[in-house]
Amino acid sequence: MGEFFENVPEVKYEGPDSKNKFAYKFYDPKKIVRGKTLEEQLKFAMAWWHTLGADGTDMFGVGTMDKSFGTNDPMDLAKAKVDAGFEMMNKLGIKYFCFHDRDLAPEGATIAESNERLDVISDIIVDKQKEFGINCLWGTANCFNNPRYMHGAGTAPNADVFAFVAAQIKKAMELTVKFGANGYVFWGGREGYETLLNTDMGLELDNMARLLHMACDYADKIGFKGDFYIEPKPKEPTKHQYDFDAATAIGFLRKYDLTDRFKMNIEANHATLAGHTFQHELRVARVNGMFGSIDANQGDELLGWDTDQFPTNIYTATLGMYEVIKNGGFTNGGLNFDAKQRRGSYRLEDTAIGHIIGMDTFALGYLIADKLIEDGRIDEFVANRYASWTTGIGKSIIDGKEDFESLAAYAEKMGDVTTNISGEQEYLESVINQVMLSL
């Protein structure tokens, strides 16, 4: 096997003074934080589709990046991508990857042909995993690209499409188990509607739940013990997607009795598209006991679409990792770089540089969030803000001892509320700045 990323050396931690493009300035994989190495805490993953597949094609232009890896033959390309992917992960010290079925091998004329191709490539991947000690974070099926999914996949009006996608997901789950992953993602890019005029929303949602229940049943059959994830996104490519945001997806899972097996895979750019912050989506998942994994990227504040940029915003990463630490860290999940370099950054080494800044950003975010929690001023402030619930009337409400009549009597006796205290947002933001800059 030749080298594909010949301009990318092995990337090591050199510290904040390093001027080497191909070095980590803040991500020291062996540094111990909260009883584990940063490498174990952060669980970075490479996304097969962006890193090995995306060539810079956009709505107005053809690809700018050469991702042919030296061949024109589709199966040879699939094999070369395995070599290239493991070379990249090994050089960057990334220990996980995520994949869609169709990222790994080109779709055939029949399901049988597609599956045979996947068998060939997945055997090679399993050997590489052993050789490099690299794991799979999660797998998924691409249920959005093929024209058969033009009206949806699990929510298609045509039952034959539902049968087809079930077959596709069945195989993708088998591959996920074959790679030893503990996560399987459902991202419903075509699960939604363009117009309600032609849509039976109730039936579509019932059918989506039927598909997810079938996935749970099949997981038991093949011994998949990991988590299923819903990855919320409000729109794009479909006008309205059913898994709009974490709150909507959790409501859906509750209605259809799927909360035992499912958690959220929160993508930063999808939060932006939903009109939320990254931290908001993580908080909603956390307080509902549904936090699972993260697609680490960022959007552009000025653009209304999913730009999937490598994450560079330390403030956003800090508030995100604050939620992850409060959740007890990752269990089966991790930080998957669902991210690509800009179209003009067309060289193969630019994807390595993108991963490097992404890893440095999340390492900084984790270290600052850890310090914020250790500092304790924010937690203490929040505890004090809600102190009225720990004694007196607040405790009595929580203990279930009050009703409207008793509270009306209490309010009458009180006269008016005189005990509100300042929210001190500006002070709290100054604490973050201080902790961040004195790391």
Round to whole Å and give the CA distance between 253 and 367: 33
Round to whole Å and give the CA distance between 121 and 84: 13
- Which of residues 101, 191, 204, 267 is near Co ion by CB under 5 A? 267
Round to whole Å and give the CA distance between 340 and 177: 27
Round to whole Å and give the CA distance between 59 and 114: 28
Residue number of the CB closest to ligand XUL reads: 187
| 295 lies in the binding site for Co ion (CB under 5 A) | yes
| 338 lies in the binding site for ligand XUL (CB under 6 A) | yes
Residue 287: CB minimum distance to ligand XUL, A: 23
Element of type H or E holding 369 = helix 348-375
Q: Pick out residues in 123-142 that bind ligand XUL (CB under 6 A).
A: 140
The interface partner of residue 243, options being ligand XUL, Co ion, none and the CB cut-off 5 to 8 Å by kind, is: none
Residue 295: CB minimum distance to Co ion, A: 4
| 161 lies in the binding site for ligand XUL (CB under 6 A) | no
Q: Is 93 left (phi over 0), alpha (psi -120 to 50) or beta?
A: left
Burial status of residue 334 (CB atoms within 10 A of its CB: 0-12, 13-18, 19 or more)? buried
Q: Which stretch binds Co ion (CB under 5 A): 61-69, 113-121, 295-303, 343-351?
A: 295-303
Segment 107-116 long-range contacts (CB within 8 Å, at least 24 positions apart): 107/146, 111/164, 111/167, 111/168, 111/171, 114/168, 114/171, 115/171
Q: Which stretch binds Co ion (CB under 5 A): 3-11, 70-78, 259-267, 419-427?
A: 259-267
Q: Over 253-273, what HEC string results? A: HHHCCCCCCEEEEEEHHHHHH
The interface partner of residue 332, options being Co ion, ligand XUL, none and the CB cut-off 5 to 8 Å by kind, is: none
Residue 50: CB minimum distance to ligand XUL, A: 8
Helices (H), 240-337: 246-255, 268-273, 278-287, 314-326
- Which of residues 25, 67, 178, 233 is near ligand XUL by CB under 6 A? 233
Active site residue 100: yes
Round to whole Å and give the CA distance between 207 and 191: 11
Helix axes 348-375, 425-437, angle to 10 degrees: 120
Measured from the CB atom, is 117 or 233 closer to ligand XUL?
A: 233
**Residue 318 near residue 365 (C-beta atoms within 8 A):** yes
Burial status of residue 394 (CB atoms within 10 A of its CB: 0-12, 13-18, 19 or more)? middle
The interface partner of residue 306, options being Co ion, ligand XUL, none and the CB cut-off 5 to 8 Å by kind, is: ligand XUL
The interface partner of residue 140, options being Co ion, ligand XUL, none and the CB cut-off 5 to 8 Å by kind, is: ligand XUL
- Which of residues 231, 323, 350, 370 is near ligand XUL by CB under 6 A? 231
| 102 lies in the binding site for ligand XUL (CB under 6 A) | no
Q: Pick out residues in 162-221 that bind ligand XUL (CB under 6 A).
A: 185, 187
Tokens of 19: 């001027």
Residue 193: CB minimum distance to ligand XUL, A: 18
Chain residues in the site for Co ion (CB under 5 A): 267, 295, 338
Chain residues in the site for ligand XUL (CB under 6 A): 100, 140, 185, 187, 231, 233, 267, 295, 306, 338
Q: Which residues have a catalytic role annotated? A: 100, 103
